[in-house]
């Protein structure tokens, strides 16, 4: 797997974590299940299958019992992500975050409910219910999306195999069949250190017109227009931010708002049909599900004086930009239903162009 920095390209100023991945935030784990089967002509409901599921786990305890502070930000709401109303009201996430394809959100949400019930058998009986958080992109250009091939077993497997350390990128998990500026895209991740804290990003890229692709500001996309076959229109992007800094949900929403600025650096103008969503969480100061003996807790809080917010905002922009470019660089050419093909961006030409534009 090639990453952006393997090509010598370094976006931004801030230092990365050891894996340059969302998993650099202590406790955060990622799992993928990739579903590829069948070839040739689309038979709706049957295949070919080019899809998958990605799970992001904020910590390794019981998330329902120890919820993480969170925010959801909608940049463009043409999408079917679910769970946002409760994130906004209560400022927490209480399940793993699941990414999959658009039409599979219902099934993935249901599978996630099943998973939560297994570990919390009191849900709906002697305690409240549970709010599954699922995001999505449309991979229907290569995948039998009507078939909704991500089943409960796949969601559970993604959760249960989630691990820390390096994260697979490109055509994996929820990024198996997605595109990025009409190249093959998929999953990408990156991280930044901000003082003693870490900020990580993971994206499921599926948006953009090739004409518009920028890499470090250079107009790369327009040099590939002659090879542009009929391809999907703009899709969407799911962006997940994690940090161990003790931000509250309002502050996390401020961080999430900066994801748009990282997205814009790659050339997006946030198309009408794009569901562009951000989910941000902090692993610090979890919120207990069960009643406490005392309603008042002592917690840490990030000040908003000085430059602390700007340091994190820049980290968000850099990490989102790099995660997207990683999703692009790591992806490999994929042919799906009806022979529809998403081509990987050629690394050598990308490097050459970056040199020509003096960005390398």
Q: Which is nearer to a copy of itself, 129 or 333 (CB)?
A: 129
Lookup result for tokens 């992500």: 81
Contacts with a copy of itself in 193-232 (CB under 8 A)? 195, 214, 216-219
Q: Which residues are catalytic?
A: 236, 274, 276
Does the protein bind a copy of itself through residue 154 (CB under 8 A)? no
Instruction: Note whether 163 and 31 are within 8 A (CB).
Output: yes
Separation CA 119–CA 63 (nearest Å): 10
Does the protein bind a copy of itself through residue 352 (CB under 8 A)? no
Instruction: Give every CB contact of residue 43 below 8 A, 6+ residues apart in sequence.
Output: 144
Separation CA 275–CA 88 (nearest Å): 18
Q: First vs last Cα of the chain: how many Å apart?
A: 21
How far does CA 13 lie from the centroid of its chain? 22
Of 44, 61, 165, 339, which lies in the binding site for a copy of itself, with binding defined by CB under 8 A?
44
Q: Which is nearer to a copy of itself, 228 or 261 (CB)?
A: 261
Separation CA 334–CA 160 (nearest Å): 27
| Bridge partners (DSSP) listed for residue 49 | 37
Does the protein bind a copy of itself through residue 91 (CB under 8 A)? yes
Q: Considering only 14-22, 48-56, 174-182, 260-268, which stretch makes contact with a copy of itself by CB under 8 A?
A: 260-268
Does the protein bind a copy of itself through residue 73 (CB under 8 A)? no
Q: Considering only 49-57, 157-165, 301-309, 328-336, which stretch makes contact with a copy of itself by CB under 8 A?
A: 301-309
Q: Which is nearer to a copy of itself, 227 or 301 (CB)?
A: 301
Does the protein bind a copy of itself through residue 82 (CB under 8 A)? yes
Of 75, 167, 202, 239, which lies in the binding site for a copy of itself, with binding defined by CB under 8 A?
75
Residue 297 sits at the vertex; the CA angle it makes with 293 and 303, to the nearest 5 degrees, is 170
Instruction: Note whether 170 and 332 are within 8 A (CB).
Output: yes
Does the protein bind a copy of itself through residue 264 (CB under 8 A)? yes
Of 74, 157, 231, 341, which lies in the binding site for a copy of itself, with binding defined by CB under 8 A?
74
Does the protein bind a copy of itself through residue 78 (CB under 8 A)? yes
**Farthest CA pair distance, the chain:** 67
> Nearest distance from residue 54's CB to a copy of itself, in Å?
18
């Amino acid at each position: 797997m090639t990453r952006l920095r393997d090509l010598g390209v370094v976006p931004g100023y801030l230092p990365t974590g050891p894996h340059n991945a969302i998993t650099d935030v202590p406790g955060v784990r990622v799992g993928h299940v990739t579903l590829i089967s069948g070839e040739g002509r689309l038979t709706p409901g049957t295949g070919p299958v080019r899809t998958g599921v990605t799970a992001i786990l904020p910590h390794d305890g019981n998330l329902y019992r120890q919820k993480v502070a969170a925010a959801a930000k909608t940049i463009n709401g043409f999408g079917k992500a679910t769970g946002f109303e409760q994130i906004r009201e209560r400022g927490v996430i209480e399940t793993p975050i699941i990414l999959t394809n658009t039409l599979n959100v219902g099934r993935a949400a249901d599978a996630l409910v099943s998973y939560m019930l297994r570990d919390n058998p009191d849900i709906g009986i002697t305690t409240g219910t549970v709010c599954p958080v699922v995001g999505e992109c449309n991979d229907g250009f290569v995948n039998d999306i009507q078939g909704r091939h991500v089943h409960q077993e796949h969601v559970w497997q993604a959760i249960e195999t989630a691990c820390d350390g390096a994260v697979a990128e490109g055509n994996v998990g929820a990024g198996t069949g997605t595109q990025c500026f009409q190249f093959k895209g998929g999953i990408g991740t990156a991280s930044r250190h901000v003082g003693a804290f870490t900020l990580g990003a993971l994206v499921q890229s599926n948006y953009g017109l090739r004409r518009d692709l920028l890499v470090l500001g250079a107009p790369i996309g327009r040099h590939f227009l002659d090879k542009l076959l009929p391809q999907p229109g703009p899709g969407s992007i799911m962006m997940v931010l994690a940090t161990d800094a003790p931000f509250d949900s309002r502050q996390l929403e401020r961080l999430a708002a900066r994801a748009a600025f990282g997205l814009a650096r790659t050339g997006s103008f946030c198309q009408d049909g794009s569901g562009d969503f951000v989910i941000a969480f902090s692993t610090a100061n979890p919120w207990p599900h069960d009643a406490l003996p005392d309603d008042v807790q002592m917690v840490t809080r990030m000040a908003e004086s000085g430059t602390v917010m700007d340091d994190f905002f820049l980290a968000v922009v850099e990490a989102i930009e790099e995660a997207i470019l990683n999703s692009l660089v790591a992806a490999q050419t994929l042919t799906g239903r009806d022979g529809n093909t998403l081509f990987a961006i050629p690394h050598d030409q990308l490097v050459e162009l970056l040199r020509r534009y003096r960005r390398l």
